[in-house]
């Protein structure tokens, strides 16, 4: 396995965590939006990751591993109905529907994604330092 594969693996992790941070930001930005129809209200989105172990025809020891974003799924939880007859978006019964975004869960997910991103950066920095130290051995 090439020593440079660690950068590919950590880079795919950085990309995946970046998508995760972007979906959290989108969920938080829409947490206070409302709609008069439960079918059109914003629904929380979450990325689904997939571990890529090896490409076709490659040997497991070749180190062709990565993380890939398989897709982004919407939550199936029901939106919250609130009685606000004075709201211009309220339906004929006076209800507005709030998204199914749990702000606390999103903040925890943001912290987790941020730390995973930082860990991947540390892996890349440590690998770079080790490679530079190895090159200095020959001097």
* pLDDT for 74: 95
At 106-131, the pLDDT tens digits run 999 999 999 999 999 999 999 999 99
Mean pLDDT of the chain: 89
Pair of tokens at residue 15: 């990309």
Listed residue (102, 116, 98, 104) closest to 21, CA to CA = 116
**What stretch of H or E contains 33?**
none
Domain ranges of the chain: 5-137
Q: How far is CA 73 from CA 13, 33, 96, in A?
A: 19, 19, 24
pLDDT digits (tens, 9 = 90+) for 40-62: 999 999 999 998 876 655 555 55
């Amino acid at each position: 396995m090439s020593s440079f594969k660690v950068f590919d693996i950590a880079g795919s992790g950085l990309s995946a965590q970046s998508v995760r941070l972007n979906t959290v930001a989108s969920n938080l930005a829409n947490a206070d939006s409302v709609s008069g129809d439960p079918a059109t209200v914003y629904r929380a989105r979450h990325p689904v990751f997939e571990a890529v172990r090896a490409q076709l025809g490659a040997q497991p020891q070749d180190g062709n591993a990565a993380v890939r974003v398989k897709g982004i799924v919407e939550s199936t939880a029901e939106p919250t109905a609130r009685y606000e007859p004075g709201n211009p978006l309220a339906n004929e019964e006076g209800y507005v529907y709030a998204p199914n975004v749990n702000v606390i869960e999103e903040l925890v997910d943001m912290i987790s994604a941020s730390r995973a991103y930082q860990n991947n950066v540390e892996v890349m920095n440590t690998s770079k330092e080790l490679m530079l130290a190895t090159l200095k051995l020959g001097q």
